[in-house]
A = this chain, B = another copy of it.
Amino acid sequence: MKFIRLLRISSIQSYKILFYIYKMIKISILGAGNVGSHLFNKFFETKNIQVIQWYNRSIKSIEHHKNKVNIIDKIENLIEVDIYLLCLSDDSLASIIPQIQTLKGIVAHTAGSVPMNILNGIKNHGVFYPLQTFSKNSPISFTNIPICIEGNNKHSIKILTSLAQNISKNIKHIDSKQRQGLHIAAVFVNNFTNHLYQIGGEICEELNVSFDLLIPLIQETAKKIETTSPDKAQTGPAIRNDQNTIQNHMDLLSIPTFKDLYLTLTHSIQKNNEHSKL
């Protein structure tokens, strides 16, 4: 009786193990910058994903992970897995591609601005582009991050989509042209917006008031677009064409590049509004 019970448990377990082996996606990550590090941490803790190898040109920066994953600094040491995720700068990407032409798994890059066809020599390839900003020390929740998938064939698309579904519920299939455009949009809403925060911070510093005063306003501005489209949410002296305030602000701003930006942005808001009235 005891023996049969043991057998039963064991067969259920084997079934489970087989099931997981079947569903498990084996990946290797190339690169240990912000994107590579965040993806490693996320995939490492994800049940159906097994990170087999992590490549980085400098092995030092990933050495502390050697108990979790096989760390390597030579491309020729890569073994066969389902997906190789290239989390590299555009320059490193260009120099590594000739060395990975014969890999049997799917090779996918993670760059917004690079077209998929840069990987054309590789049999199965694609793009796995998480549309988010990653900083090394800020933990991030992947659940809502849009993951933009592209693949050179049905197999690549299917496996890359399955990988994405394990970490996010927001998967989009977009082509290289759309992704490049999205990357420009991301530069506007992320890089350029952050620069405006920086200018806000410098103005505060000059006034001897804390930058913290601006944080609720910054966050409300970002929150509002969930319910109000940006063109409806636009307020301020530019859209009201309030010349007194604009002139007053120009007189008060002392740094020439800030003056330039103020005028260019004011002009763009007014131009855009004219355009939307047509």
Interface residues of A (CB under 8 A from B): 90, 113, 131-133, 135, 137-138, 140, 144-146, 148, 170, 172, 174, 177-178, 180-201, 203-204, 206-209, 211, 213-231, 233-239, 242, 244-245, 248-249, 252-253, 257-258, 260-262, 264-265, 267-269, 271-272
CB distance from A149 to the nearest CB of B (A): 13
Asked whether, in the complex, the Cβ of A113 is within 8 Å of the Cβ of B188, the reply is no
Partner of A196, one of B90, B193, B204, B223: B193
Show 14 residue pairs from A and B whose CB-CB distance is below 8 angstroms, ordered by the A residue: A113-B245, A138-B227, A145-B216, A177-B207, A180-B248, A181-B203, A181-B207, A181-B209, A187-B249, A190-B217, A190-B236, A198-B231, A198-B234, A219-B222
Asked whether, in the complex, the Cβ of A218 is within 8 Å of the Cβ of B193, the reply is yes
CB distance from A132 to the nearest CB of B (A): 6
CB distance from A212 to the nearest CB of B (A): 8
Complex CA distance for A5 and B271, rounded to whole angstroms:
73
Complex CA distance for A218 and B140, rounded to whole angstroms:
14
Q: What does DSSP make chain A's interface, helix, strand, loop or mixed?
A: helix
Asked whether, in the complex, the Cβ of B261 is within 8 Å of the Cβ of A265, the reply is yes
Asked whether, in the complex, the Cβ of A237 is within 8 Å of the Cβ of B187, the reply is yes
Partner of A216, one of B132, B181, B207, B239: B132
Partner of A235, one of B133, B181, B199: B133
The residues of B that contact A223 with a CB separation of less than 8 Å are 219, 222
Sorted nearest first, the 10 A-B pairs with minimum C-beta distance are A191-B236, A222-B222, A198-B230, A197-B230, A185-B203, A185-B200, A189-B200, A181-B207, A264-B264, A192-B265
Asked whether, in the complex, the Cβ of B236 is within 8 Å of the Cβ of A187, the reply is yes
Asked whether, in the complex, the Cβ of A271 is within 8 Å of the Cβ of B248, the reply is no
The residues of B that contact A181 with a CB separation of less than 8 Å are 203-204, 206-207, 209, 252
Known contacts A222-B218, A234-B194, A135 near B185 by CB under 8 Å: no
Complex CA distance for A207 and B183, rounded to whole angstroms:
11
The residues of B that contact A216 with a CB separation of less than 8 Å are 131-132, 144-146, 170
Additional A-B contact list (11), CB under 8 Å, known A178-B208, A218-B222: A113-B248, A138-B228, A181-B206, A184-B253, A190-B217, A192-B261, A193-B218, A194-B233, A195-B272, A200-B230, A260-B264
CB distance from A135 to the nearest CB of B (A): 6
Complex CA distance for A205 and B228, rounded to whole angstroms:
16
Asked whether, in the complex, the Cβ of A221 is within 8 Å of the Cβ of B244, the reply is no
Partner of A195, one of B200, B218, B260, B268: B268
